[in-house]
Amino acid sequence: MRSARNFFDRPADEQRALLEESWCDSCGKADLGIVAPAEFGEDGKVYIEGKCPRCGTHVSTEIVEIENDEKS
């Protein structure tokens, strides 16, 4: 089941980094950004979706959280 999340609750630098790392299938280009981002969770995964700023096509990117498990 899809559940809405608030993308804008993330720190500004994290938002910027997540929006920069995108892919548009229609343009065939990476890192064009995402316009009007919306974040949601589904099946234990987190996604950002919106529109490509270049062509306006719907884009969706999975957010992969990297855990830092450094143990001394």
At 70 the pLDDT is 57
Question: Do 3 and 40 meet the contact criterion of CB atoms below 8 Å apart?
Answer: yes
**Most confident of the ranges 16-25, 39-48, 57-66:** 39-48
- Measured distance CA(46)–CA(7) in Å, rounded: 10
Residue of higher predicted confidence among 65 and 6: 6
In this model, does residue 47 exceed pLDDT 80? yes
Confidence band of 69 (pLDDT split at 50, 70, 90): low
- Whole-structure pTM value: 0.78
